[in-house]
Chains A and B, each alone.
Chain A
Amino acid sequence: MKRDFILWIALLGGPIVWLISFETNFALAPWACIFQTKLALHVISIVALVLAAVSGLLAWQEWKGLSGEKEDRPGGSLPRSRSMALGGVLMSAMFFLVILAQSIPAIVLSACE
């Protein structure tokens, strides 16, 4: 049960972190112009990148742990757990890239463009 919970976090952590950071940054974009600072946008992007990386590492750890385990019975949960762990690694990597791509505008554009 605990493993399944971790696997769900690993699988969906990246996209959920992306969704929250992206919506927050979009809502804050007009305020960056009003206050003449993009600091909040940068901080949110960095925190989101770290969290997506943590989610990926969690998934990677689970995947390595599961690789060493042996199936106790045919049709057991091990292949499914391995798939979820691998999925967590790939999903986190994908959404790390999406967050990275979305952090570029705040670097290259000025606050009031």
Chain B
Amino acid sequence: MNQTEPIPNSSEREAQALRDLENSWQTPRGMIGWLSCTTHQAIGMRYIVTAFIFLLAGGIEALLIRLQLALPNNTLLGPDRYNEIFTTHGTTMMFLFAVPMMEGMAVYLVPLMLGTRNVAFPRLNAFGYWIYLAGAIFLYWGVFTNTAPDAGWFSYPPLSGPAYSPGKRVDFWAQMITFTEVSAMCVASELIATIFKMRAPGMSLNRIPLYCWSMLVQSFMVIFAMPAVMIASSYLLSDRTVGTHFVNPAEGGDPLLYQHVFWLFGHPEVYIIFIPALGFVSSIVTANSRREIFGYPGMVLSIVATGFIAFGLWVHHMFATGLPQIGEAYFTAASMMIAVTSGVQIFCWIATLWTGRLRMTAALHFVFGFIAIFVLGGLTGVILASVSLDVQVHDTFFVVAHFHYVLIGGALFPLFGAFYHWFPKITGRLMNEAVGKLNFWILFIGFNLTFFPMHILGLKGMTRRIYTYGSEMGWELGNILATIGAFIIAAGGVVFLINIFLSRNRGEIAGDNPWDADSFEWAAASPPKSYNFEYLPVATSRYPLWVAASERTFVTGLRNDRREVLVTTLMDAEPHHRLVLPRSSLWPLLTALAVTIGFIGSVFNAWYITYGSILTGLAFVGWFWPRLPVETKP
């Protein structure tokens, strides 16, 4: 292969090569084709659409919570139903919306940004999606059959143990965790391999787009954090189903062990959701400031340092458990130091915006909203890092306000910005900018009206997870404001959906690069072809599309009659070898079904672990059955 040849002139041979490329990368038609698809665009979109449906479900649950709390002594929901709804809301948002949405965006965008044609393990990618879908359906099967979990999204024992939570509610929750975490680890491993080994030639470590750096760090965090929560939920599940004694105090187990293991995942989880959003912000800021990002090395190092320090914060969720003060103080220190890495990024974005030629798009509005809200959430985070202050507001609405400022401000606002920014790439049409800005202001006002009063409510002593309160508490004003705000947020969501549907059908045609942005995804067609690029691009700069067109070069020499991609070296992205990616296959779906039988069955009968393992083994035989390397048919 040669990475410096210009694109050959168009000819019949070229046309034939293009037809071969389309044939080898296309997905078979029909239902079987849809089920066996392994292209990253299709899988990414499935994640995005499914996760968005669960955002809507979690949003409806949030509205029910707010309606119940709007007035004192309200009887709209009883205490048991309220427990189910707030547990399902938290679980849905954390496990079925936030992480899968970020994974889906990455599955769609990362190969395009790196200048390649798919992720490194396309079948694993499809398997991850099916497993996620199975876990999500499993949880909501429980919700609609009066088996919704009701012990909070982190299900602390002993409340969640067999003595205080009989029945199957908590078991559904615990096993849903296993599904979604397996899915997240599938995506993480394939993204790490893709970012390390499938970058465009020339895209050395110091030229990787910041979004891809974010996903690289996030993926490593997933690999280290997710096993912890799977262990925690497995402790709980086995205590409940087969009578082990890990975390059940009635049998000599240690509930604090559960908290440690859960939060060893739980705090990095916040950053697993938030770090991809930092990548969105960097891409949007760069494109709309029309200049290179200020302090690229500092930005990369901040992301990496955040990824490390995030694993040193978990005990700040456990300050009220009576651990030694010296031990707690280590976490106070780390919690305060992580503000430094976040601060470096905030200042770099401000410097970029300050010195750029701003184009005030809807996406950039969401970035400004993110900066304002996230900084406020960060400030209350520093307050909660202090043991003495944290103990005062522990388990109050102050904490609820804090984490919604961090998660909605830190992840949802950038995500909406990302929707506006990449919608033209995904659909080929621009979203309506005026409606987008209206969408931003409705969400921004609604968000602050909902969550700012919760700080005051928390300071006034309103504990989280109570289903009602007396009128003598003086909490009416804050609660009614929060409820009004929640409905304004819902109105913002409706505006967004209307904009999506109208723009999808009638939006202005976008072209390949409507924002004159810098990274490779904007060199692909809008929407991208199944093979992304006719010729894989070569990165001659950190901002490859801002290099003069005459200086851009492309990879030639890859075969078009099979799914061939270029593997490059880890450090400097020099061409190393050609890799043939597998064709579409039903085996990921069948394997996911086998795993699902094992996981769901084991909630009711432990022998299903054996049955599921045998079925999964058989499915793996089909999955890995050797085939000829040359594949001319999809």
A58 within 8 A of B: no
Which positions 72-102 of chain A face chain B at CB distance < 8 Å?
75-77, 79-80, 83-84, 86-87, 90-91, 94-95, 97-98, 101-102
Whether A22 pairs with B334 at a CB distance below 8 angstroms is yes
- Residues of B participating in the A interface, judged by any CB pair closer than 8 Å: 202, 204-207, 297-298, 300-301, 304-305, 308-309, 311-312, 315, 323-327, 329-330, 332-334, 336-337, 340-341, 540, 571-572
Cβ of B210 to closest chain A Cβ, rounded Å: 13
Whether B327 pairs with A102 at a CB distance below 8 angstroms is no
Whether A102 pairs with B305 at a CB distance below 8 angstroms is no
Give Cα A84 to B207, complex, Å. Answer: 12
| Contact among A15, A22, A75 with B330 in the assembled complex (CB-CB below 8 Å) | A22
Whether A90 pairs with B297 at a CB distance below 8 angstroms is yes
| Contact among A25, A75, A86, A94 with B340 in the assembled complex (CB-CB below 8 Å) | A94
Q: Which residues of A contact B327 (CB under 8 A)?
A: 26, 29-30
Whether A4 pairs with B571 at a CB distance below 8 angstroms is yes
Cβ of A78 to closest chain B Cβ, rounded Å: 10
| Contact among B205, B308, B330 with A102 in the assembled complex (CB-CB below 8 Å) | B330
Chain A interface extent, by class: 35 or more
Can you list 15 A-B pairs with a CB-CB distance of less than 8 A?
A15-B308, A18-B312, A19-B311, A79-B206, A80-B571, A83-B206, A86-B297, A87-B301, A90-B298, A91-B301, A98-B333, A98-B337, A101-B334, A104-B329, A109-B326
Known: A29-B330, A109-B325. 4 other contacts (CB 8 A): A22-B330, A77-B204, A98-B337, A105-B325
Interface of A: prevailing SS: helix
A32 within 8 A of B: yes
User: Residue of A at shortest CB range from B307?
Assistant: A15
Cβ of A22 to closest chain B Cβ, rounded Å: 6
Q: Which residues of A contact B315 (CB under 8 A)?
A: 26
Q: Which residues of B contact A102 (CB under 8 A)?
A: 329-330, 333-334
User: Residue of B at shortest CB range from A4?
Assistant: B571
Whether A101 contacts B336 in the complex (CB less than 8 A), given A77-B571, A80-B204, A80-B572, comes out as yes
Q: Which residues of B contact A51 (CB under 8 A)?
A: none
Cβ of A105 to closest chain B Cβ, rounded Å: 3
Whether A111 contacts B326 in the complex (CB less than 8 A), given A101-B333, A102-B334, comes out as yes
Which positions 47-78 of chain A face chain B at CB distance < 8 Å?
75-77
Whether A30 contacts B297 in the complex (CB less than 8 A), given A77-B204, A80-B571, comes out as no
Q: Which residues of A contact B305 (CB under 8 A)?
A: 15, 91, 94-95
User: Residue of A at shortest CB range from B539?
Assistant: A75
Q: Which residues of A contact B300 (CB under 8 A)?
A: 87
Cβ of B539 to closest chain A Cβ, rounded Å: 9
Cβ of B422 to closest chain A Cβ, rounded Å: 27
Whether A105 pairs with B333 at a CB distance below 8 angstroms is yes
Whether A25 contacts B330 in the complex (CB less than 8 A), given A83-B206, A91-B305, A113-B324, comes out as yes
Q: Which residues of A contact B207 (CB under 8 A)?
A: 80
Give Cα A98 to B207, complex, Å. Answer: 28
Give Cα A89 to B182, complex, Å. Answer: 36
Give Cα A103 to B12, complex, Å. Answer: 71
Q: Which residues of B contact A32 (CB under 8 A)?
A: 324, 326
A33 within 8 A of B: yes
Cβ of B346 to closest chain A Cβ, rounded Å: 16
A9 within 8 A of B: no
Give Cα A75 to B304, complex, Å. Answer: 25
Q: Which residues of A contact B326 (CB under 8 A)?
A: 29, 32, 38, 41, 105-106, 109, 111, 113
Q: Which residues of A contact B337 (CB under 8 A)?
A: 97-98, 101
Whether B297 pairs with A113 at a CB distance below 8 angstroms is no
Whether A19 pairs with B312 at a CB distance below 8 angstroms is yes
User: Residue of B at shortest CB range from A91?
Assistant: B301
Whether B312 pairs with A94 at a CB distance below 8 angstroms is no
Give Cα A84 to B206, complex, Å. Answer: 8
